[in-house]
Amino acid sequence: MSSLLSLHCRPAERPSFSIVARMVRVPINQTKAAVHRLLAVLLVAGLIGPSVVKGESPAAPEFLLTDTCPASFELHDGGCVLRSRYKAYRSLRDAGVGGLKTGVPPLREGFTPQQIDLGRYLFFDPVLSADGSVSCASCHDPAQGFADGRAQAIGIDGHTLPRSAPSLWNIGFFSTLLWDGSKNSLEEQMQGPLYSPLEMGNNPAQLLETLNGNDTYRALFEQAFGTDTIALDQVYTAVAAFEGSLISLNSRYDLYAHGYHAALSEEEIAGLNVFRSFVARCAECHTPPLFSNQQLAVVGVADSPGEIMDPGAEAITGDASQRGAFRVPSLRNITRTAPYMHRGQKSTLEDAARFYTGGRGHEVPEDESLMIHWHIWEPQLTDREIQLLATFMGALTDEAFMPQIPTAVPSGLPVTPARQFASGNDFGFGAQ
Ligand code: HEC
Ligand code: HEC
């Protein structure tokens, strides 16, 4: 019984990826009640909850990195490798624009459990910012689909960024990163926010000094990398390892794609059929299974009425044909990440879907010439079809492998407040 009590008195962390999270992959016919019963049994059996020495008074949190891979990963040659049915399917490159059984691109995987777990602490620790006020999770909040619910993100000292924070679910599959597609690796990308005066305001020297000056972090980096001083590359590797573990491929849509027809309602199937039709053409760019082909496309959403302020990829390449080009975003967990588009211009999924039927270039001001993508045309979708599209996009929800959000981080700084998280996928399973 002591371990049951310890759930309430222990100040420290529970293991990051609990046994409960592993259990949510059970088939759909399990009911929520059954899961709860199972939880109760596990609790009583003392399987959940760490053991502490009886009578120990609450002390400073201890940090120990887990030696277990995240849910849906398994240890292979010392590194965590994803298990997913999508790996058995042919890749997108082999199979055209993607039917239901299309494979996933290569994932950033093979990191050790300790590296992933260390990355989890770093991700939630505001110590990474210049003044200890902003963490990655400030803008990529797990409770909001690893986005922030804002049209434009807000960084250190209240600076407003030009663009909206994207979701990080499945980001380890992406090799074209950012709205303008300007980064190709997670390690390279994260140096943007870390050292941008608008985001986390830090610099490499200060970041290293802070981390090396923290005994807890030194011990954790030693567990993860076996060295006694912390190097920047290790910081980047650990955070990338954690990002690669954010997998969402178990939505009801996925069950349907793997062959379980009853996983989607008739309305959702009708929505999927509009989505992949050559009338609506959504799947040409939002290609399954990631619902992004990772290409740049000019769709022509105005930043504010009558204005294109954000040049998109043109600012990177100088190529005028890429003015207003953005990397096709994934639509996974899209119900969690309103408002939509690079600047949050569309507040609902219906608004976003309706944009595509407004007519080619209808938001583009007269003095602009954008090279709108050929798949953007005038499909003349009905209100009913718009609504079906939104309904279908809602079936892409799966947060079952939500990582454990730390209650404390090694710096001792407050973990960025996250809204109460309604976990699980939309089968109703609770995940821990
Ligand atoms: C101040 C808010 C803010 C903070 C802090 C922040 N990000 Fe972001 N993040 C954004 C915004 C906004 C974008 C999109 C920027 C763009 O495309 O120009 C983004 C984009 C990304 C992307 C690319 C996503 C995609 O779909 O291509 C990744 C990966 C990412 N951030 C990871 C991180 C990590 C890791 C940290 C912490 C080291 C972090 N971010 C800190 C706001 C933030
Ligand atoms: C030519 C490629 C293309 C086609 C076709 C396309 N999209 Fe998009 N989609 C994009 C791009 C690029 C963006 C980002 C645009 C921006 O931010 O300005 C986007 C953004 C979105 C978003 C917002 C995502 C987010 O995270 O903010 C939704 C929702 C969406 N599209 C749904 C659809 C639907 C529904 C269809 C079919 C009716 C469709 N798209 C067709 C390329 C495409």
With cut-offs at 50, 70 and 90, classify the pLDDT of residue 36. very low
| Region 252-394: CATH code | 1.10.760.10
Q: Is the CB of 299 under 6 A from ligand 2?
A: yes
Q: What is the pLDDT of residues 273-291, one digit of tens each?
A: 999 999 999 999 999 999 9
Residue 39 Cα to ligand 1 midpoint, Å, equals 35
User: Using a 6 Å cutoff on CB, does residue 240 contact ligand 1?
Assistant: no
67-248 matches 252-394 in fold: yes
- In this predicted structure, the answer to whether residue 361 has a pLDDT above a threshold of 80 is yes
Indicate whether 135 pLDDT > 90. yes
Are the CB atoms for 237 and 245 separated by under 8 Å? no
Pocket of ligand 2 contains residue 291 by CB under 6 Å: no
Residue 198's pLDDT band (cuts 50, 70, 90): very high
Mean pLDDT of 1-22: 36
pLDDT digits (tens, 9 = 90+) for 373-409: 999 998 999 999 999 999 999 999 999 999 999 999 9
Q: Which residues contact 169 (CB under 8 A, 6 or more apart)?
A: 145, 146, 246, 247, 248, 330, 332, 333, 399
| Atom nearest to 182 CA in ligand 1 | 17
Q: pLDDT grade, residue 34 (50/70/90)?
A: very low
CATH fold for the domain made of 67-248: Cytochrome Bc1 Complex; Chain D, domain 2 (1.10.760)
- What average pLDDT score do residues 145-172 get? 97
State yes or no: pLDDT of 96 exceeds 60. no
Which ligand has the nearest atom to the CA of 189?
A: 1
Confidence of residue 431 (pLDDT cuts 50, 70, 90): very low
Q: What per-residue confidence (pLDDT) applies to 94?
A: 52
Element at 399 (helix H, strand E): strand 398-399
Instruction: Judge whether 27 and 55 are in contact, CB under 8 Å.
Output: no
Cα-only R_g, the chain: 22
The whole-angstrom separation of Cα 137 and Cα 32 is: 29
Band of residue 99 on the pLDDT scale cut at 50, 70, 90: confident
Question: Domain residue spans in the chain?
Answer: 1-62, 67-248, 252-394
The closest-lying atom of ligand 2 relative to the alpha carbon of residue 295 is 12
Beta carbons within 8 Å of 54's beta carbon, 6+ residues apart:
2
- What does the pLDDT read at residue 204? 98
Task: Return the pLDDT at 426.
Answer: 41
Q: Distance (Å, rounded) from C-alpha 31 to C-alpha 34?
A: 5
